Structures are given as structure tokens and as C-alpha cells.
């Protein structure tokens, strides 16, 4: 009898342990399912081409039922397309105590509400005042230091001072946001005379990269507060700013970049080929202009951790100051930066294919999806050429199958 009781005493912990393991496994499976749902969206699209899907429906001939393929694609795009969702904040698997992930859910428990209130007090009453003070000091230091350095004649002294000011102010800027940046493969950092290309999420990309090295920046001119920062930086270093709407500015920028990379003593140029901020879940089309200039391309992949703060800048919705306030009131800025091996355009490879090859490498390293769409769709309507391309593709499919010649077209 005693032996039987001993066996039960030893067996109970094992049974509880097994039960806990099963429960943990179920929780992990649910979490993975939720994560997959968020990453793939509410619509599970089949990864098949137009040719493959239509061939299975009509057996190689034109059929009026072909319209159902385009009808289905249209309904999928209306419900959830893969482009516009990249221009809004990334959806989180779990709540990070910063904002609500479900607008219909207003109360869960008093314990969670208490934790949320404590989080607000910590972020707004403890962290934010220190961050604002440090941010104001950093901005004043940048403006005053660049003004002084700008008075020096061009030479080694001015070049050295400008680099020191850039790195010090960038490092302080990262500290303003409680930044924790992990740099990987630093042996692949961009060298003088090269072109550094990276995916673009927010102006913080420049801050992060400048805290680990000096660059000459290429970007669009801005007004307001961001324009003030740009003018200050222009006084001490050679950056290239342009107006996207001006065609003559594009030719001038291309000429300046060619001259810059021809001088191996100058700083590497930092370019964001997407041309706009994406929410860090995918890499969209790289403009080919950066890859037509020749020279060595140094790819850099930047991936933020959304659990501690939303680094994405939705420029169509928030101003720079609003975005800065949101970042100063977040928990922290945590991200990983990978310096990838330098790449050179191969023989008989055009700029478009080279840009796509670099984009694929960056997306694979950061764990993001690759999209062929232009980031300019954030502000512009879809070009008619996109529609015509689909029409030509379908017409070519019909012609190749001989439907037109056989008189099978309705």
C-alpha cells in the first residue's frame, strides 16, 4: 500500500508536467497561426500565374468564364490588396501596451488596465521628459556645430570635423529614443566612393546608419522642421537634395552622384531606392536610377522590432513633429542592421534586373516580402500602363493558344 502511494506521489508531478507541456504546445500553435494570419492577410492567395490558372479553367481556349478570373482578382484587391496595407502601421500579434490592436475591445480586465496606466506613467512622466531634454540639446548642438564647421575652408580639417559632428549627433539622437541597435557584419560596411542602398521605413534610418558611419545623403527636400535639419547638415557636408517633381533636378542629381562616386576619397552615398517609407514588412520596387551609375553597391537591411514602438512614418497622415512625439513616447527603438556583401552589376545585366537582385538580397536578410509595386502608389493613382500590361498579357495568352485563329472568340 505504501509503495502504491509512493508511485502516485512520483507520478503526479510527471502528469502535471506533461499537461503543462501540452498546454504550452497548444498556445504556441495558436500564436503561430495568428502570426501567419497577420503576415499573410485575411485572403490566402494562390501563388499561381495567370497562365497556369486560366489554363486549368478553360483548357487552352478562350471561354467566357475567363472573366471570373479577373472578377476574383478584383474582389480580392477590394477586400485586401498587398500594396496599400504597406502604407499603414504593421499589425502586431500581441498588444504592446502602446495602442489598441482591436478597436471594438475596450475592456479586458482591471489588472490589464492597471498595467496600461502604469505604462503610461512610466513613458510620459519618466522617460519622455529626459528624452525631450536630450533631443533639444542634440538639435541645438547640431545646428550650432554645423554652422561653425561650415565656416572652415574645404580641406581635411573641415572633413574630419564634419564627420565627428555627424556621428556624435546621430549617436545622441539614437539615445533620445532609447535606441538599441544591433549591427551585424561590420566588415561589410560601405567604403569611400561606394553607393549604400537600404530599405526605407522612416527618417530614423539615416540616424541609425549615421551613428555607425559617415555618409553623404541623397534625398528629397523637405520644409518645416525636417527642412531645418537638412539645411544645417548641408552647411558642413556635401549632401544631394532634390525635388521629386522637377525633372531637371533628377538629371542634375544623377550627374552629381556620378562625380561623387568617381572620387574614391569622398564618403559613400546613402540612397533609399524605394523613394518613400514602407512599414517594414516588405521591400517595394527599387528605382533603377541608383543602379545605372556604375560603381559598387553596398546593400544594407534594416529591420525594426514593432513590439517596442512603431518606427514607420506615415507621411500622408502624420507630420514630422507628430511622428517625433510618437517615437519619444514609445518604449524604445530596437532594430537590427545587416551590412551585406558588396554587389556589382554583371555583364549584360540591365539596371532593372540588378535593382531587383539587390532588393531580393535585402528582403531575404531582413525576413521581409518582396513586392514589384512602386512605392509612389502611396500618393499617386495606378498608371494606365499597369492595366494595359495585364490586357496585353491576356491577349498574348489567347493568341498563343490559337483561339483567335480558330474563331473561338465570342
Query: Which among 168, 185, 202, 387 is positioned nearest to 300, based on CA atoms?
Result: 185
% of the chain surpassing 90 pLDDT:
36
Grid cell 516588405 is found at 282
Look up the CATH number of the domain holding residue 332: 3.40.1130
Torsion of CA 7, 13, 16, 21, to 10 degrees: -120
Q: Answer yes or no: are the C-beta atoms of 212 and 168 closer than 8 Å.
A: no
pLDDT tens for 52-79 read 666 655 555 567 777 777 777 777 766 6
Model confidence at 11: pLDDT above 70: no
Please give the backbone phi and psi of residue 322, each rounded to the nearest 5 degrees, phi first: -65, -45
Does some domain include residue 82? no
Query: Which among 61, 336, 40, 338 is positioned nearest to 185, based on CA atoms?
Result: 338
Q: What's the pLDDT at 2?
A: 44
3-state secondary structure of 132: helix
Does some domain include residue 258? yes
In sequence order, which residues have a C-beta less than 8 Å from that of residue 276 and are 6 or more positions away?
200, 315, 375, 376, 378, 379
Lowest mean pLDDT among 113-127, 162-176, 212-226, 376-390: 376-390
Q: Sorting pLDDT into bands at 50, 70 and 90, what band is 20?
A: low
In sequence order, which residues have a C-beta less than 8 Å from that of residue 157 and are 6 or more positions away?
none
Q: What's the pLDDT at 57?
A: 56
Does some domain include residue 302? yes
Q: What's the pLDDT at 55?
A: 60
Q: Answer yes or no: are the C-beta atoms of 336 and 303 closer than 8 Å.
A: yes
Number of structural domains in the chain: 1
Does some domain include residue 78? no
Model confidence at 386: pLDDT above 80: no
Q: Report which of residues 85 and 208 the model is more confident about.
A: 208
Q: Which domain holds residue 316?
A: 132-385
Model confidence at 271: pLDDT above 70: yes
Q: Sorting pLDDT into bands at 50, 70 and 90, what band is 16?
A: low
% of the chain surpassing 70 pLDDT:
77
pLDDT tens for 315-335 read 888 888 899 999 999 999 999
Does some domain include residue 46? no
Does some domain include residue 97? no
Neighbour count for residue 112 (Cβ, 10 Å): 12
Q: Across residues 15-20, what is the average pLDDT?
A: 62
Q: Answer yes or no: are the C-beta atoms of 65 and 58 closer than 8 Å.
A: yes
Q: Sorting pLDDT into bands at 50, 70 and 90, what band is 354?
A: very high
Q: Which long-range contacts (CB under 8 A, 24 or more apart) does 361-365 make?
A: 361/299, 362/197, 362/198, 362/199, 362/283, 362/299, 362/300, 362/301, 363/199, 363/282, 363/283, 363/301, 365/301, 365/338, 365/340
Does some domain include residue 290? yes
Q: What's the pLDDT at 71?
A: 77
Model confidence at 410: pLDDT above 60: no
- Between CA 101 and CA 310 the distance in angstroms is 13
Side by side, which strands form the sheet with 179-184?
Answer: 179-184, 333-339, 297-304, 195-198, 269-271, 216-220, 240-242
pLDDT tens for 148-181 read 998 888 888 988 999 999 999 999 999 999 999 9
Q: What's the pLDDT at 394?
A: 79
Model confidence at 380: pLDDT above 70: yes
CA 92 to chain centre: 15
Does some domain include residue 64? no
- Between CA 72 and CA 45 the distance in angstroms is 11
- Between CA 328 and CA 51 the distance in angstroms is 50
Q: What's the pLDDT at 245?
A: 61
- Between CA 166 and CA 210 the distance in angstroms is 7
Amino acid at each position: 500500500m505504501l509503495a502504491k502511494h509512493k508511485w502516485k506521489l512520483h507520478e503526479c508531478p510527471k502528469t502535471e508536467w506533461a499537461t503543462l507541456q501540452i498546454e504550452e504546445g497548444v498556445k504556441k500553435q495558436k500564436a503561430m497561426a495568428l502570426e501567419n494570419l497577420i503576415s499573410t492577410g485575411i485572403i490566402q492567395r494562390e501563388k499561381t500565374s495567370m497562365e497556369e490558372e486560366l489554363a486549368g479553367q478553360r483548357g487552352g481556349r478562350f471561354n467566357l468564364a475567363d472573366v471570373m478570373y479577373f472578377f476574383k482578382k478584383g474582389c480580392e484587391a477590394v477586400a485586401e490588396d498587398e500594396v496599400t496595407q504597406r502604407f499603414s502601421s504593421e499589425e502586431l500579434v500581441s498588444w504592446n501596451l502602446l495602442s489598441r490592436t482591436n478597436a471594438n475591445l475596450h475592456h479586458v480586465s482591471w489588472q490589464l488596465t492597471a498595467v496600461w496606466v502604469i505604462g503610461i506613467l512610466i513613458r510620459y512622466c519618466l522617460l519622455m521628459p529626459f528624452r525631450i531634454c536630450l533631443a533639444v540639446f542634440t538639435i541645438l548642438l547640431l545646428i550650432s556645430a554645423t554652422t561653425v564647421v561650415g565656416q572652415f575652408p574645404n580641406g581635411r580639417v573641415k572633413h574630419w570635423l564634419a564627420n565627428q559632428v555627424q556621428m556624435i549627433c546621430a549617436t545622441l539622437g539614437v539615445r533620445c529614443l532609447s535606441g538599441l541597435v544591433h549591427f551585424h557584419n561590420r566588415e561589410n560596411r560601405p567604403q569611400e566612393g561606394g553607393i549604400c542602398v537600404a530599405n526605407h521605413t522612416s527618417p530614423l534610418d539615416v540616424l541609425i546608419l549615421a551613428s555607425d558611419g559617415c555618409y553623404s545623403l541623397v534625398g528629397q527636400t523637405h520644409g518645416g522642421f525636417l527642412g531645418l535639419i537638412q539645411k544645417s547638415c548641408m552647411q558642413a557636408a556635401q549632401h544631394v537634395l532634390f525635388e521629386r517633381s522637377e525633372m531637371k533636378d533628377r538629371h542634375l542629381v544623377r550627374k552629381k552622384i556620378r562625380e561623387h562616386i568617381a572620387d574614391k576619397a569622398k564618403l559613400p552615398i546613402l540612397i533609399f531606392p524605394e523613394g518613400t517609407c514602407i512599414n517594414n514588412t516588405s521591400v517595394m520596387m527599387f528605382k533603377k536610377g541608383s543602379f545605372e551609375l556604375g560603381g559598387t553597391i553596398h546593400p544594407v537591411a534594416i529591420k525594426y522590432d514593432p513590439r517596442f514602438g512603431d518606427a514607420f512614418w506615415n507621411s500622408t497622415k502624420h507630420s514630422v513633429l507628430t511622428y517625433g512625439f510618437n517615437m519619444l513616447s514609445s518604449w524604445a527603438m530596437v532594430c537590427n542592421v545587416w551590412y551585406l556583401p558588396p554587389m556589382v552589376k554583371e555583364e549584360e545585366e540591365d539596371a532593372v534586373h540588378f535593382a531587383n537582385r539587390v532588393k531580393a538580397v535585402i528582403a531575404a536578410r531582413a525576413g521581409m516580402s518582396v513586392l514589384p509595386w512602386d512605392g509612389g502608389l502611396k500618393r499617386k493613382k495606378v498608371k494606365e500602363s499597369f492595366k494595359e500590361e495585364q490586357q496585353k498579357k491576356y491577349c498574348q495568352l489567347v493568341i498563343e493558344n490559337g483561339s483567335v485563329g480558330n474563331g473561338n472568340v465570342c
